[in-house]
Structure 1
């Protein structure tokens, strides 16, 4: 089978990727809870280039090379272990792999996944729509529910509303009757409103901290998808309720990025640290969460904003576009022809 791979770390993934011919895992080698998936559509996330491009311990020791990137997928069950009863061969499923430190990702014609990393594709749901949920939708869901103070009737601020996580978070919050204020740049205002944002702050036209401070302590939760401005958490007591939670989503997987997170958690408020509860979303692939996402896709409460699609042969071009940081929603890769 064909699969995209990189064999080095610490360099531009666009240049490092090569299309290789690899063996397909034999059905007899599958463990009890494993499925062999013929990938039809996949989608890519920033973490899939940030980790291999990072230099140092994290990329060198936690990645087994050569490696195939890709976490999100929608495809057909091509084979399963004889004792796996959750799925049947020929069924369409979607989901996400559970770790970015993987050797065999979804940018391949076939991928082996654990059966708890996917759910059945609901009837009538487009394969591209499902393929592009995965990591971004799980991150949005787990940032909003159930560990934060974001409950029906509350008010959430989403810093960075036009990307994959942001557009999913807006829709999920509205599905639970939550008031949503988002930040974005001028060209993305209409997109954020279209997916349900109640209020949009154009950070290009104001000082964001001053704008939020003027509103007072009105937010129950803040989701920071951007990490900018740098002092957003430190100033959050000016616009986040005393009982509120600041949820950090954006983080660079390198030494400086991890050091920044450590400082945020460890710096006492008396020494200039934040004064509100801080959480950092470490996304997990939970089948129960995927089931909720599938229900929302099926009833129309959730839709994927697809920025662009690329053919399997053009995966490096897809990463090149993703790295520009200007995507509206998700980038989808067509790995195989849709049935």
Structure 2
């Protein structure tokens, strides 16, 4: 009897030692963003994307131990790509806006002003083009990045000035601040483009270095630009694609398909929450500016067309330059414009033709 008990206990111990481990494998993952969480894309990464990944992995053999590094703690604004390249982070927000050479094709919206003001349409279009045009995804891969989706961007750009604007004539000789590629939106208009960014706009206008700025509403309200440039003209330059959620590709490729799917599918949750959150913020921005004394007006459709027609074909120049480098610039431009047309967008100018 005692021998049978010993044998039974031994068999049970052996069986337990051979049983599969029931706890999930924990992956250490650092998520990086140069901007602080006050910016909606970082807030949504933290509050929507990461919980969505965790939820997708519930009940699987994997879980994630997240380290969230935002606001310059690991990388400065525009430095996220390098942080991931160095293996300091595995997932993050990378802005194609700050990589005009390395991620040139993703900047198609910035060379096609007066596009759609619909953020959801613009972001979902460029996001989807990554699957239509392999070269777009390859640009990320060449940087050891896996584009997961979750295209984020900026709402319909407008003009803020120290003087009223009802026509192009009002811009003659005026100095206007504009971010990077948006300086091209002033070519041949008579205005003088002055490069700047959100940290310089207020002081530039206050000191007379500039007399206005091309900017998006949520940033304008947060920076209180209406205090120095109270004339807000809704020119409808259009919404802009600025980047997306990416993973370090060499790390991503080593992960189990279950983990890969969770990281990729959760980008859809990020996209939906980001766009709904942005809509609320834009409405709040206009309300804040109006309550702060801003005079908000719409530029007439006639003047929008005149402005668009006055510009050189900056989109075609951009596309041909990329074509000469072996990239499908013309294909990306034509595809983007065709998608906007198919969605019923009324374009004051078709940038895909001469």
Query: What TM-score does the superposition give when structure 2 sets the normalisation length?
Result: 0.30
Which structure: larger Rg? Answer: 2
Structure number with the higher helix fraction is 2
Structure number with the higher strand fraction is 1
